[in-house]
Amino acid sequence: MLDLNFIREHPEVVREALRKRHEDTSILDRVLELDRRRRELIAQVERLRAERNRVSKEISRLKDPEERNARIAAMRELKSRLETLEKELRDVETQLNELLLRIPNIPRPEVPEGVDERDNVILRTWGEPRTFDFEPLPHWDLGPMLDIIDFERAAKISGSRFYILKGAGARLQRALISWMLDVHTREHGYTEIYPPALVRSHALIGTGNLPKFADTLYKDREEDLWLIPTAEVPVTNLYREEILPPGSLPIYHTAYTPCFRREKVAAGRDVRGIKRVHQFDKVELVKFVEPEQGPEELESLLRHAETIVQRLELPYRIVLLSTGDLGFSSAITYDIEVWAPGSGEWLEVSSCSWFTDFQARRANIRYRPERGAKPRFVHTLNGSGLALPRTMIAILETYQQEDGSVIIPEVLRPYMGGMERIEGKKAE
RNA sequence: GGGGAGGUGCCGGAGUGGUUGAACGGGGCCGCCUGCUAAGCGGUUGUGGGGGCAGAAACCUCCACCGUGGGUUCGAAUCCCACCCUCCCCGCCA
């Protein structure tokens, strides 16, 4: 959420941001109009309330019943005027707030302007995509062949866009999770969190998933509980409605959770394989920092995520998202994309974003810079560290051998009981 | 799921319709005292919004906030309703 004062004082900045994101700018005009009305009403309401408070105090001191009753009668009239205005003020504030929740964050100046992902900018590339002297298979062929991914039985149980990991496949994912968490907690200074995977709607409002993107989320039928699309939601909301004491920042958290996404918007896209599924696991990195530290913290967040891909020795590239592809809450985002030689495409395994105070304002997360100082909104950042299925795709497709087996990256072997290679039954 | 208790400031804990933004205690902070420390004494201690000021700090003033949202009343932390949360007992259960 943007600061209403900022919107009022710099409407042209907000209008420009909406334009760059290809959003309807009329929402801004409605906000400005409601804000004007709100301020008028506040002035009137407060004037009446001040009078009411003053006279009520007088009444309490009056002994003479005649005089007292006269005053009370006069106040009755004031009261009804006040109630009418208060009702209108409430309505205006409700409308205003609903609109404010639908205005996206302002992109940073260094974000390239663009229409969609085609306008994203590739900043750099790491590693050389492997060359094969045989035709590399996509993971949706490799997985079943090795008997480590089972799509058919998953569909039987849960329908399309679900998958089952089996044997070494399940173990490989578990190894990745443990290893990633170890790297982030031991080497990068993150504290591990195990959060709820079901959250109240206000938590999703805090991160910016609601109210605009309700159709991408799974929701409980009877209660106000939603399945998280990412650990970002519960972890960012950890400190909601809090004022963190001086010296608290920065706070780094990492969390491993399942993630649930309806993928209704992408119907028909990426139907094969485990690239785009309704349920997947992810290790997430979340930071709470002082506003001034934002740029540096974004860079180090990106480095922390990159460390994982580098140690797996998977070639990747860093992409700076354009305004057309930038997420609703983000001010700037870098994607890490790994090369999947079998599928023949770059896969987004991490999205590292700086949200400035956008989420902090929505979730009311503040900190006190020093004793006695006024509270300020923190800045939040997050990025995947990494998403499991896509990392698995890159590993399987990159390290496949001509005989169909897959070499396990060295860093994971200690987490796999020393296993060096996944071999299919057919290959034996 | 059934029954009961309760949600007040940084913490503990009063307060059941009228100078209560909130007694009292603890903690914190600032002074005083003291060779130093402890004890003791005095003072102070919230958040958000509006105005005084074009702007920043300080200060003054008004409004709101005693779980959340409505309601009753001239006036509500105090009364009523709904919801959320915590604790205890019973039942059920991984």
Q: DSSP string of A284-296? A: EEEEEE-GGGHHH
CB atoms within 10 A of CB A53: 9
Which of the nucleotides lies closest to A55 (Cα–C1')?
B74
Q: Each residue's pLDDT tens digit in chain A (428 positions)?
A: 899 988 988 899 999 999 999 999 999 999 999 998 998 888 899 889 889 888 888 888 777 888 888 888 888 888 888 888 988 988 898 899 899 999 999 999 999 999 999 999 999 999 999 999 999 999 999 999 999 999 999 999 999 999 999 999 999 999 999 999 999 999 999 999 999 999 999 999 999 999 999 999 999 888 888 999 999 999 999 999 888 888 888 999 999 999 999 988 777 788 899 999 999 999 999 999 999 999 999 999 999 999 999 999 999 999 999 999 999 999 999 999 999 999 999 999 999 999 999 999 999 998 888 877 888 899 999 999 999 999 999 999 999 999 999 999 999 999 999 999 999 764 44
Task: Please check whether residue A90 lies inside any domain of the structure.
Answer: yes
Q: Indicate if CB(A265) is under 7 A from strand B.
A: no
User: Which of A53, A74, A100 marks a domain boundary?
Assistant: A100
CATH number at residue A62: 1.10.287.40
Element (H, E) at A20: helix A11-20
Beta-strand ranges (E) seen in A19-133 are 121-126
Residue A143 CB partners (closer than 8 Å, separation 6+): A149, A150, A151, A163, A169, A274, A396
Domain co-membership, A319 together with A395: yes
> Separation of CA A360 and C1' B91 in angstroms?
43
- Structural domain containing residue A86: 4-100
Q: Are A278 and A388 part of one and the same domain?
A: yes
Q: Are residues A323 and A351 in the same domain?
A: yes
How far is the C-alpha of A428 from the C-alpha of A418, rounded, in Å? 19
Domain total in chain A: 2
Q: Does A421 qualify as catalytic in the annotation?
A: no
Q: Can A276 be counted among the known catalytic residues?
A: yes
Boundary (domain end) residue, out of A54, A70, A100: A100
pTM equals: 0.93
Q: Do the domain assignments include residue A390?
A: yes
Whether A427 sits with its Cβ under 7 A from any strand B atom: the answer reads no
A76 touches strand B (CB under 7 A): yes
**Statement to judge: residues A37 and A181 lie in one domain:** no
Q: Which nucleotide is nearest to A83 (CA to C1')?
A: B71
Secondary structure E strands in A310-398 = 316-320, 332-340, 345-354, 365-367, 376-377, 379-387
Tell me which amino acid residue A242 is: E
CB atoms within 10 A of CB A6: 12
A390 has catalytic annotation: yes
Tell me if residue A248 falls in helix, strand or coil.
Answer: coil
- A143 and A210 both lie in a single domain: yes
Q: Judge whether A63 lies within some domain.
A: yes
| The one catalytic residue among A329, A390, A397, A405 | A390
Report CA(A73)–C1'(B18) in Å, whole number.
17
